[in-house]
Amino acid sequence: VQRTLVLVKPDGVARGLTGEVLRRIEAKGYRLVALELRTAPAALLEEHYAEHAGKPFYAPLVEFMGSGPLVAAVVEGDRVIEGFRSLAGTTDPTTAVPGTIRGDLGRDWGLPVAQNIVHGSDSPESAAREIGLWFPGV
Ligand code: ATP
């Protein structure tokens, strides 16, 4: 079985969408193996988003992600990395397909940084790296 790191971003938590996101994950048949509500320190977020360092949205992204509590989870299941990204929908919530988390629940591209409710790891390598950052020991 595969594992992925899911974040319900601060916009999702502030809007009371944590339960809805977790409901969709569980309804799809995936299993929660770790779950925590926390306000992430800048150093953790900078490391998490290291691949975006230097891009115009990097600093606003780190600031937004640290602006309030988020929910971090390790989710397990066959092909869960692709499966969760399919549940989440594309990055821009305005055009994300209805039926997806971002398509159903998101709207604001929210410049300078997209407020798009969730994050999910994009590859097995990213998942291993991100799970190590957020849940050392899991
Ligand atoms: P995530 O990694 O959060 O699941 P993603 O893979 O769809 O999202 P990435 O390209 O990894 O998107 O970008 C990380 C996050 O940075 C996005 O989810 C979004 O919040 C923000 N972002 C990405 N591109 C832009 C952009 N061009 N303008 C504003 N914000 C952006």
CB 8 within 8 A of CB 37: no
2-134 adopts what CATH topology? Alpha-Beta Plaits (3.30.70)
User: 20: which 2 tokens?
Assistant: 């809805």
Evaluate if residue 96 carries a pLDDT over 80: yes
Residue stretches of the annotated binding site for ATP:
9, 57, 85, 91, 102, 116
The whole-number pLDDT of residue 113 equals: 85
Q: Which of 118, 119, 121, 134 is catalytic?
A: 119
Strands in 70-77's sheet, in edge-to-edge order, are: 31-38, 70-77, 2-8, 118-120
What are the structural domain ranges in the chain?
Answer: 2-134
In this prediction, residues 14-34 reach a mean pLDDT of: 98
Q: What pLDDT is recorded for position 94?
A: 92
Global pTM reads: 0.95
pLDDT value at 110 more than 90: no
pLDDT band at 29 (very low <50, low <70, confident <90, very high): very high
Burial class (CB in 10 A: 0-12, 13-18, 19+), 14: middle
Complex ipTM: 0.89
